[in-house]
Amino acid sequence: MLTDLFHLYDSVAVPRWYDLLLILCFAWNALLMGILSVRHMEKIIQSIWSYRFEWLFVYPVMLLNAIGIYIGRYLRFNSWDLLSNPFRLIADTTQILVHPIFYRNAWAMTICFSFFLGILYMTLKKLSKTI
């Protein structure tokens, strides 16, 4: 949702600051709901398997999230494309996996976003323990 900030423009009917505030509110809410979902999954995994290194669970999940962000933002797929256009989705995604050097910008964006999401997750998790 934060990548929708690229689409901000001046309008006669609605000022830019209103659109900015609206997008940031929705993005913040989506980010928090995503973090809470990962935390809930982490608690379920911890109850089944006792593990000490939380990054073994958190980072792969955040990497998958970042891949999903890339697929949605840059490849322009939506969730319904899993049913309506699965072969094109698989073909486009496979190209990125098979040719990582050619798609190095895609991998750079994905890795950077996964680190950002992981750091954000761990930060909010640690902050919740201090309150």
Exposure string (b/e) for 78-98, b if CB count within 10 Å is 16 or more?
Answer: eeebeeeeeeebeebeeebee
Higher pLDDT, 49 or 38: 38
What total of structural domains would you count in the chain?
1
46: confidence class by pLDDT, cuts 50, 70, 90: confident
Q: What pLDDT sits at residue 93?
A: 95
Query: What tens digit of pLDDT does each residue of 106-125 get?
Result: 999 999 999 999 999 999 99
Q: Which range of residues forms the domain containing residue 72?
A: 2-130
pLDDT number for residue 109: 96
pTM score, two decimals?
Answer: 0.84
pLDDT at 6: 72
Residue 51 has pLDDT above 80, yes or no: no
